C-alpha cells in the first residue's frame, strides 16, 4: 500500500494508534534518510499531519504535488503559508476549542508561579537554604489590574478565571468584543494600565514583536509579563534587557522565539519562570486534539465538509 499520509509530529498514543490503524502513514521524525524517502514517495502523499509550532515549510509544499490537506494538531497556523495553500487548493485545518481551557489554566498558573516565586521557593527548600532564613517577599497576585493581549477563545477563558481574583480586567484585540471588561485600542495603552500583562494573541506578521521595548516600559518596573501564545510576539532581546535592568519585575514564559532553544541569558535570569511550551500538554487536551485532527482527516478522505477548516 502506498504511503499517503506524512506525519510530522507525534500524537498521544491513543490518537497515534487510530491514525496508523486507518491510514498508510510515514513518521517523518523517525526517518533515517528523509531526502531519499521524499524523492521516492512524494507523489503519493495526500495529507500531512503537523503541529502549530512546526507547520510545514514551503519547500515541502513544493515537493508534495498530490498534497490536499495539512491537518494541524493545535490551534496556531502561522507556520503554514495559507496563500500558497489557497493557490494550490490545499485545505488546512486546526483544532480550536479543545485546548482552550488547558492553555488558560496554564496562563493563570504561570502568573501565580511567577508572582509568588513558586519555582524559586521550591529550589530554596531543596537546596537547604530555608534553615538560614526566609526568602525575600513576593508579590500579591489578587486584586491586581490584569491586561490580556488578544481576546479570542483563550483570552476570554483567561478573563473568566481572573474574575475570581478580585481585580480589574482589561483587554486589547483587533476589534472590541461584547464583554464587560475594558477595551484598549493599543497594547501600549493596555500595558500602561496593567500590573500583569498576559499574552494570548495569535501569531503572525501583524503580531511579530508586538510586545517590544515601548510596551515593556509602559508595563514598568513593577509589572509582570506572561506569555502562553507564541514566542515571536515578544521581542526577546528587549525582554531580556528589561528583566536584567529591572525595568520589568518578572516574566513567566511558556513559549520562545526559537523553540526548543531558549537564550542562555534568559535562562540565567532569576526573575523569570520558564516552562517548555506545555499549554496544551495534558492528556485530556492532547487526546481531544488528536481526535479532532483525525475527524478532519476522515472528512477529507471521505469528501465531506471539514469540521474545523482554516482554509
Torsion of CA 229, 51, 72, 110, to 10 degrees: -30
For the chain, helix, strand, coil in percent to 5 are: 40, 15, 40
Question: Which are the catalytic amino acids?
Answer: 230, 259, 277
β-pair partners for 199: 149, 227
For residue 43, the tally of other CB atoms under 10 A from its CB is 11
Short-list 135, 141, 155, 144, CA closest to 109:
141
Sign of CA dihedral 228, 7, 61, 295: negative
Q: What is the rounded CA–CA span in Å between residue 229 and residue 308?
A: 20
3-state secondary structure of 296: helix
Q: In this structure, what are the phi and psi dihedrals at residue 61, rounded to the nearest 5 degrees? A: -50, -50
DSSP SS3 for 217:
helix
Distances (CA, A) of 283 to 100, 211, 280, 288: 14, 31, 9, 9
Neighbours of 135 (CB within 10 A): 12
Amino acid at each position: 500500500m502506498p504511503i499517503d499520509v506524512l506525519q510530522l509530529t507525534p500524537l498521544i498514543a491513543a490518537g497515534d494508534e487510530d491514525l496508523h490503524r486507518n491510514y498508510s502513514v510515514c513518521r517523518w521524525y523517525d526517518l533515517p534518510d528523509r531526502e531519499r524517502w521524499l524523492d521516492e514517495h512524494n507523489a503519493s502523499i495526500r495529507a500531512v499531519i503537523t503541529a502549530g509550532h512546526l507547520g510545514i515549510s514551503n519547500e515541502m509544499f513544493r515537493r508534495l504535488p498530490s498534497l490536499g490537506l495539512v491537518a494541524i494538531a493545535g490551534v496556531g497556523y502561522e507556520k503554514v503559508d495559507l496563500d500558497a495553500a489557497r493557490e494550490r487548493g490545499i485545505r488546512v485545518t486546526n483544532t480550536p476549542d479543545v485546548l482552550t481551557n488547558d492553555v488558560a489554566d496554564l496562563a493563570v498558573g504561570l502568573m501565580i508561579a511567577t508572582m509568588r516565586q513558586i519555582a524559586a521557593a521550591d529550589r530554596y527548600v531543596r537546596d537547604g537554604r530555608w534553615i538560614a532564613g526566609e526568602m525575600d517577599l513576593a508579590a500579591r497576585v489578587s486584586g491586581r489590574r490584569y491586561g490580556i493581549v488578544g481576546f479570542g477563545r483563550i483570552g476570554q477563558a483567561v478573563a473568566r478565571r481572573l474574575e475570581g481574583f478580585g481585580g480589574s480586567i482589561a483587554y486589547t484585540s483587533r476589534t472590541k468584543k461584547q464583554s464587560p471588561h475594558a477595551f484598549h485600542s493599543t497594547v501600549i495603552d493596555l500595558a500602561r494600565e496593567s500590573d500583569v500583562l498576559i499574552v494570548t494573541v495569535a501569531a503572525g506578521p501583524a503580531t511579530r514583536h508586538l510586545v517590544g521595548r515601548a510596551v515593556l516600559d509602559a508595563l514598568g518596573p513593577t509589572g509582570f509579563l506572561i506569555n502562553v501564545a507564541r514566542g515571536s510576539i515578544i521581542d526577546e532581546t528587549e525582554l531580556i534587557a528589561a528583566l536584567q535592568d529591572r525595568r520589568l519585575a518578572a516574566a513567566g514564559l511558556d513559549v520562545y522565539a526559537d523553540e526548543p532553544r531558549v537564550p542562555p541569558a534568559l535562562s540565567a535570569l532569576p526573575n523569570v519562570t520558564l516552562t517548555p511550551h506545555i499549554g496544551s500538554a495534558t492528556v485530556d487536551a492532547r487526546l481531544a486534539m488528536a481526535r479532532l485532527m483525525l475527524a478532519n482527516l476522515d472528512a477529507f478522505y471521505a469528501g465531506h465538509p471539514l469540521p474545523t477548516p482554516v482554509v
